[in-house]
Amino acid sequence: MQLEGIMPNHPPQITTTSRHWPTVGLTIALGAVGGLVAKALHFPLPMLLGALLAVAGAALAGWKPMGHSVQFPPRLRFVFIPIIGVAIGSTFTPAILAEVRFWWPSLLVLAVFIPIAHYLGFRLVSRSGKIDPMTALFGTAPGGLIETVQMAEERGGDPAMVTILQFLRVIVTIITVPVFFTWMTGHAVGSAGGATLARAPMTLAEVPWLIAAAVIGAGAGRAIRLPAGFMTGPILLSGLFHLTGWVEGSPPNVLVSITQLVIGTALGVRFAGMPLSQVMVAARLSALSTTVSIVLAIGVAFALAPFIGEPHAAVFLAFAPGGLAEMSLIALSLQMSLVYVTAHHALRIVLAVLAARMLAARVSRD
């Protein structure tokens, strides 16, 4: 995977419409308007969620500007995703090294949490009778979007339905978690709460270092198959530069906002060509399995937080089945450890794929 749902390596788009650049421009403009409206309404992560809701709504409504469905070049997001990774890496400080040794109980619990959450979500969805067991299994994995789609296809599942289920898992999480924290804290969180991923303005001399962290980090992360490699690679390289003191600055906030717009728009166009009835079935099933993971994450947060020195909210964010960037933005706005949340989400993706493979073997035998 891929920063799930919002990160690179999504499965191919369901629509096969050829690229029409004027329509692409209108789609981006629609996403920007949605983001600005969401920002005015104080939505959490407004540029991402506003663009997503506006473009997805147009796609599902069948809006076809200039005779074409809403479109966005999927490879364009590869240019922007590393920016968030570099920005997150800029929050690394030497003080973080002293905290890591306290996290091992949390990482061990995560290794148990993932297969349990997956199995419970799978059983709940499979009992609905709406989809076959193999599709239900891979559609309810709490991570690893492209891997689960590929494995479903190999084992006779429905890759299209798995794509929708996995996609909606991310959407449900990145919408409900910020709203939940906004309700709990009484103020907006994420970028709606004024949070940005910038630690300090970058200087002209630091620009080559940050570009290198983005380009080399993304390439290396992809090459060695890091989870969410296009993001975790830049995180690690940018983190190294900042830990060593070579660099202190971070990408400007406007680039982070543009990245959110790109991500939200890219997600929204994936609804083009989807039958509304299929989306509604998938939405209900995805809500069931995602609710299981979120409720379990809340329980883990209250049980585990006293033993690892992190607040309950940080542990919940680390275990929530959502996108790494969104959970990191919320952690930042609540002044929590970004590295703690990031490390757990990277491991979550790996564990989710491994658990899906093990459970698939059991389902095949059954």
What residue type is 200 in one-letter code?
A: A
Tokens 């070579």 sit on residue: 246
Residue 24, domain member (yes or no) = no
Token pair for residue 260?
């959110």
Tokens 């993706």 sit on residue: 349
Helix/strand/coil percent split, the chain, to 5: 70, 0, 25
Q: How far is CA 129 from the centre of its chain?
A: 28
**What length does the chain have?**
366
Token pair for residue 346?
């990277």
Residue 17, domain member (yes or no) = no
How far is it, in rounded angstroms, from Cα 16 to Cα 220?
A: 31
Tokens 């009835």 sit on residue: 277
Which residues contact residue 252 at a Cβ distance below 8 angstroms, ignoring those fewer than 6 apart?
198, 201, 202
Confidence category of residue 16, pLDDT binned at 50, 70, 90: very low
Three-class DSSP category at 201: strand
How far is it, in rounded angstroms, from Cα 32 to Cα 212?
A: 29
Residue 352, domain member (yes or no) = yes
Q: Which range has highest mean pLDDT (150-159, 166-175, 354-363)?
A: 354-363
| Structure confidence at residue 10 (pLDDT) | 39
Confidence category of residue 181, pLDDT binned at 50, 70, 90: confident
Closest CA to 74 of 16, 141, 34, 30: 16
Closest CA to 6 of 228, 219, 226, 288: 228
- Supply the range of the domain harboring residue 313: 81-251+275-365
Tokens 């060695």 sit on residue: 224
| Domain count of the fold of the chain | 1
Residue 103, domain member (yes or no) = yes
| Structure confidence at residue 148 (pLDDT) | 82
| 94 vs 265, more confident | 265
Three-class DSSP category at 142: coil
Angle between helices 159-185 and 276-308 (to 10 degrees): 50
Tokens 């369901």 sit on residue: 14
Neighbours of 166 (CB within 10 A): 30
Confidence category of residue 18, pLDDT binned at 50, 70, 90: low
| Predicted confidence (pLDDT) per residue in 298-354, tens digit | 999 999 998 888 888 889 989 998 766 667 767 766 667 777 888 888 788 778 888
Residue 5 confidence (pLDDT) above 80: no
Q: How far apart are the first and last CA of the chain?
A: 28
How far is it, in rounded angstroms, from Cα 76 to Cα 263?
A: 10
Residue 106, domain member (yes or no) = yes
Does the reported pTM lie above 0.85?
Answer: no
| Predicted confidence (pLDDT) per residue in 234-282, tens digit | 988 998 998 888 888 888 878 878 888 998 898 788 788 878 888 888 8
pLDDT mean over 128-151: 84
